[in-house]
Structure 1
Amino acid sequence: MANTSRRALRLLSLFGSRRQWPLREFATALGVSERTVRRDIETLRELGYPITTVHGPEGGYRLGAGHTLPPLLLDHDQALAVAVALQTAPSTVFGLGDDAARALVTLEQAMPAALRETMKTLRLTRLQNYWEFPAPPIDSAALTAVGAAVSHRHVLVTETLRADGSRPVSGDDDFLPARRIEPHHLVVWAGRWYVVAYDLGDDQWRVHRVDRLRPRPTTQLFSPRGLPHDDLARFVMSSHDRGDTAAAWPCTGSARLRLPAGVVARFAPGGSVVEHLDTEHCRLTLGAWSWAGVAGILATFDTGLTELHPPELARACRRMGRRLAAVADTEERP
């Protein structure tokens, strides 16, 4: 009886992820025979769940339209995955750190005793890796507005903000007029939220940092377009003009690289800025915990470096060159 109850709960959790399931997939997911699945479906029907039979080659079962499942109906693995995610997800949205902690407490209260004990063994302390690129948090209202516009295909009117969140006024060097965009997809990369959008002002695909936008929703609908790239993550990473600003690091420097901006943007670490200079050159601004760290990242591009700034970065690159030359001399000796 206990096994039957567990399978019935597992069945309900599967219905929570999608309304209709082929019988064969149900049996595979539960690790039981199709006959056992049929019996468990009858058990749920006796409990009042409106599950209908779907006939045909891919026949199976469908949870009745309009029927809602009990809240927090998660199986062991689902509950564990959510709890771990709440503890390890980076706080990139304003004010959600405390909300995540409260959600974890609520989840644990709804867990069976055995699973609650398992979670106690997984209490995590978040440690920042020295090479973890910091990202500023986003206003949850702005993220919700952009996400809703993507979901409902509504045109957005956006104003560009400075890194400190202020809006330039007309006459400022960095002032940009409000733009009308069609937001198609949200992409998260290196702790930053980007929206891939079609700009109705200049008829081009662009990438915008969500935390650098002040979105104003509209009710104007737009139709789907052919996307600019099959891999939107790669499109975001390769777009040098995506609105990035240099992240706050103890050491921040820049150099002119003999590589196109699109190539450098794809491989530069999150929190760096790539400026297009010409078809063969760009400027990369980035930071690290030390000048040697900045020099090391620049060395990974394996190309000519000029116009290094500040002088501390140039000295760090020269020191690194001497160390590498010393290694080469050692290897060449008999």
Structure 2
Amino acid sequence: MSETTGRVLRLLGLLQSRRVWGGDELAERLGVTGRSVRRDVERLRELGYPVHASKGHGGGYQLGAGAALPPLLLDPDEAVAMAVSLRVAAGGSVAGVGESALRALTKLDQVMPSRLRSQVAAVHDATTTLTPGQTDDLVDPDVLMTLARACRDHEHVAAGYVDRAGTTTDRRVEPYRLVTTGRRWYLLCFDRDRDDWRSLRLDRMSDVIARGTTFTPREAPDAAQYVRRAITASPYRYVARVRYRAPRDAVAQCFSDASAEIEEDGPDACILTAGADDPERMVPWLAMPGVEFEVLAPAEVAAAVRTVADRLRRATP
């Protein structure tokens, strides 16, 4: 790194650390003349950093907000704090935050020195986060980052996987996309041994290893639609199709994307597709929208609605 480049980076770090700097202060910190400071400020502006200059009492140089977020210079403590925060956010339930936090964490982890990574891991391992309803579905942040990088770089991945029956198998996959429902993380991937697409729950994966070899991307299905279909229907013994006499938007407010797939059936009706292993337990859930509905299929779910309705009638004096 040249002396000038190093000085410009030091100048950038100073501007990011405080709101306003006087020209004389910067010259003293950098050990240069005021003229050199002005030249270095121009270099930063050419790189896209909006450095504002003002005169008079309280004036000086100030790093402003630009049209795009420029690279940030973080000291070791700041980098560790940010990585720990991103790990928490990546596993959280705030809508839209998990995937963004994971992308940011992946970028930060790629350039973070190993000694700082160990500090981040130590803080994370010593911390317990109380997140209602997710204690059984925790995902190791290192697994998240490994798979995120593999998706980005089209890198082969090997892992162990436990299915719903508790059977463990070895998987050799081509990872394409991570999908979060807010409660769980899934991986859309092409299973090389099964020669087909799969969605895998990350909390059921173990010994996740990026092999270092790359693959040529295939034409992949829509990740969100594929995972939604996989988790709302295919794992269950009974898959119900129910027609509601209400617009889709009204019915959709009662169900999450992870629990049901809803399609319009004209302007004032919609059809829900969802799965369950016990039809009777499904009935109160289907009744949540509070509007008229009819079970189109299967017969077992329709019978369960009649059984539960009769039981409720008998419970009324």
| TM-score, normalization by structure 2 | 0.46
| TM-score, normalization by structure 1 | 0.44
